[in-house]
């Protein structure tokens, strides 16, 4: 049992995917459950092994009920750079902390986990036998043990240079696994209603975690599409709603995105998606609405806004307009009541989004969104800024050799005042992203392909 105020050491085994997203996920979840991520905590960048100091096993368990970036957590009993160092460290671990799990009435199993190396069964048995000095008094039970212990060996990150001996060895008591299986069970491939830009299940859960979504929150997606982001939030117990400019998407009509299917079926919509996962009770509503002209009364309605705005690659960035706003030379529609779609500059869209979040989020609520960038021109100054929102994290996901999208997480730290609406115009951050508006043209221009070709031929 940890003394009040004291910290126990835990070993997190991280998944080797979406590396940049891992630290903000773990930090966000720790802050949600009352744990803290301090500088003294050791993180190993790209390594799958992280040591965390947190006050209680409850926090560790809560963390694992949410994370999709971590595979498992262990109470760390010993750690060393060689077997000898590990054994010395284990001998120094207080016996009174071990005894509750090793006494004669208990059953247990020891597992060997290696990273970047495969061991033979014989080598594994040797490692287990070497732990004889630990005061195990219970019985081994391989099928249904009460307690599982693991030796974890780290052979570094380079598969072309695997060392003879591990860089680090850990021994710990397994506590819980993370939620990696959600990636499969919520896979878009098996989803009822999908579109060309439906968000990948793993990333949707990461976004909900960066947003610190919790039970009974209200979560909003202004560019809702097929509602992929709402599903992840609803899974964590939040009530969800969204808007989209596209009537067919909101009503589940029009052309299907699946091969071998021409039109969407009768019940292909966001509500049915939530029903598929037993989450229908969390559905508030989805509306046809233009995010550039929000139709909300003043107020703070949302605990989180989680969204993937259009980049104009597979769907257009549009906003509704009047006939008058159509530039001269373009033929106007004779029925003036028909809404007209105008192009919507990316920079305007992001500043509208930040303003909307600043106005409608609860204090402490988070905005999580994707910002597309042309990597050769990207600088941190391009990330849109708002006086009411503090930047929490900014992680890159590569799309091609020269394009990427960045997952931006911001937290509302100040109440919105009318004058905040235009403050982005005064900021240094407005102009750089405005210059970046040609993301779509750059994506399609063939520039990226040409550069990649040139790079390849210079390497040959
Ligand atoms: C990248 S997709 C969102 C995909 C969604 N996350 C999903 O899982 O299906 C962007 C969506 O924004 C919508 N959109 C484009 N311009 C809009 C606007 N001005 N207001 C609201 N929605 C808009 C598009 O119709 C599209 O469905």
Q: What is the CATH number of the domain that holds 89?
A: 3.30.2130.30
Considering the domain architecture, whether residues 107 and 203 belong to the same structural domain is answered as: no
Contacting residues for 233 by C-beta, under 8 A, at least 6 apart: 208, 211, 213, 217, 219, 240, 282, 304, 306
Q: Is position 329 within any domain?
A: no
- Give the whole-angstrom CA distance, residue 273 versus residue 267: 9
H or E segment at 191? Answer: none
The predicted-structure confidence for 85-138, as pLDDT tens digits, reads as follows 999 999 999 999 999 999 999 999 999 999 999 999 999 999 999 999 999 999
Q: Looking at residue 338, what is its pLDDT?
A: 43
Q: Is 311 in the same domain as 397? A: yes
Name, in order, each residue with C-beta under 8 angstroms of 96's C-beta and a sequence gap of 6 or more.
none
Q: Alpha-carbon distance 317 to 311, whole Å?
A: 6
* 455 lies in some domain: no
134 and 162 fall within a common domain:
yes
Are 36 and 120 members of one domain?
yes
- The number of C-alpha atoms within 13 Å of 171 and in the hemisphere containing its C-beta is 24
Q: Are residues 46 and 113 in the same domain?
A: yes
Report which ligand 1 atom has the smallest distance to the Cα of 194. 9
Pocket test for ligand 1, best of 197, 252, 440 (most atoms within 8 A of CB): 197
Residue 153 and residue 286 in one domain: no
| pLDDT of res. 440 | 67
111 lies in the same domain as 140: yes
pTM: 0.89
Q: The sheet that has 168-177: what strands, in order across it? A: 49-54, 8-14, 70-80, 168-177, 147-154, 107-115, 139-140
Q: Under a CB-based contact definition with an 8 Å cutoff, are residues 171 and 138 in contact?
A: no
Bridge partners, residue 405, by sequence:
372, 397
* Residue 336 pLDDT: 38
Distance 253 CA to ligand 1 centre (A): 15
**Residue 456 confidence (pLDDT):** 56
pLDDT score of 192? 84
State the residue range of the domain holding 231.
Answer: 182-319+339-432
Taking the centre of ligand 1 as the mean of its atom positions, its distance from the CA of residue 308, in whole angstroms, is: 7
pLDDT of residue 335: 38
Residue ranges for the chain with pLDDT beneath 70: 1-6, 38-44, 312-318, 321-343, 424-460
**CA–CA gap between residue 304 and residue 45 (Å, rounded):** 28
Ligand 1 pocket test, pick from 268, 306, 310 with the greatest ligand atom count within 8 Å of Cβ, gives 310
The count of structural domains within the chain is 2
Q: Say if residue 138 is in the same domain as residue 253.
A: no
Q: Which of 159, 178, 197 is the last residue of a domain?
A: 178
State residue 437's pLDDT score. Answer: 60
317 CA from centroid of ligand 1 (Å):
8
Residues 47, 68 share a domain? yes
Best mutation site among 198, 268, 287, 315 for ligand 1, i.e. most ligand atoms within 8 A of its Cβ? 315
Domain C-terminal end among 147, 178, 209: 178
- The CATH number for 232's domain is 3.40.50.150
Query: Is residue 214, in this structure, part of any structural domain at all?
Result: yes
Q: Are 254 and 373 in a shared domain?
A: yes
Task: Measure 246 CA to ligand 1 centroid, in angstroms.
Answer: 8
End of a domain among 137, 155, 178? Answer: 178
| Residues framing ligand 1 (Cβ under 6 A) | 195, 197-199, 222-223, 225-226, 228-229, 243-246, 249, 290-292, 308, 310, 315, 317-319, 344
């Amino acid at each position: 049992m940890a003394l009040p105020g004291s910290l126990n050491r835990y070993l997190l085994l991280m998944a080797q995917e979406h590396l940049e997203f891992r630290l903000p996920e773990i930090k966000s979840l720790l802050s949600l459950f009352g744990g803290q991520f301090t500088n003294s905590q050791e993180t190993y960048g790209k390594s799958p092994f992280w040591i965390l100091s947190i006050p209680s096993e409850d926090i560790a368990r809560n963390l694992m009920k949410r994370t999709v970036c971590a595979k498992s957590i262990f109470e760390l009993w010993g750690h060393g750079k060689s077997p000898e160092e590990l054994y010395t460290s284990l001998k120094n671990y207080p016996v009174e902390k071990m005894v509750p799990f090793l006494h004669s009435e208990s059953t247990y199993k020891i597992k060997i986990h290696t990273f970047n190396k495969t061991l033979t069964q014989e080598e594994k048995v040797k490692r287990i036998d070497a732990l004889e000095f630990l005061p195990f008094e219970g019985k081994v039970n391989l099928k249904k043990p009460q307690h599982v212990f693991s030796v974890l060996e780290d052979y570094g990150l380079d598969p072309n240079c695997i060392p003879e001996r591990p860089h680090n060895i850990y021994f710990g008591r397994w506590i819980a696994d993370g939620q990696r299986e959600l990636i499969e069970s919520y896979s878009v491939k098996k989803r009822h209603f999908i579109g060309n830009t439906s968000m990948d299940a793993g990333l949707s859960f990461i976004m909900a975690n960066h947003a610190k979504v919790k039970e009974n929150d209200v979560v909003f997606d202004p560019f809702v599409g097929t509602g992929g982001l709402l599903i992840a939030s609803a899974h964590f117990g939040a009530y969800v709603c969204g808007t989209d400019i596209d009537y067919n998407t909101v009503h589940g009509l029009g052309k299907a995105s699946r091969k071998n299917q021409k039109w969407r079926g009768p019940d292909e919509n966001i509500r049915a998606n939530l029903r598929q996962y037993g989450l229908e009770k969390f559905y508030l509503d989805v509306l046809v609405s233009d995010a550039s002209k929000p139709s909300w009364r003043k107020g703070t309605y949302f605990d989180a806004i989680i969204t993937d705005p259009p980049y104009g690659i597979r769907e257009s960035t549009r906003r509704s307009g009047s006939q008058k706003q159509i530039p001269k030379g373009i033929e106007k529609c004779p029925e003036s009541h028909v809404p007209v779609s105008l192009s919507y500059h990316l920079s305007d869209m992001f500043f509208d989004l930040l303003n909307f979040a600043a106005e409608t989020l609860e204090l402490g609520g988070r905005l999580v969104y994707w910002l597309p960038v042309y990597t050769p021109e990207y600088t941190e100054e391009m990330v849109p800024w708002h006086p009411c929102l503090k930047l929490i994290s900014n992680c890159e996901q590569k799309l091609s050799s020269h394009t990427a999208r960045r997952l931006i997480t911001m937290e509302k730290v100040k109440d919105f005042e009318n004058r905040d609406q235009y403050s982005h115009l005064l900021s240094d951050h407005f102009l750089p992203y405005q210059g970046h508006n040609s993301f779509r043209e750059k994506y399609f221009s063939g520039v990226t392909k040409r550069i990649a070709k040139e790079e390849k031929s210079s390497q040959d």
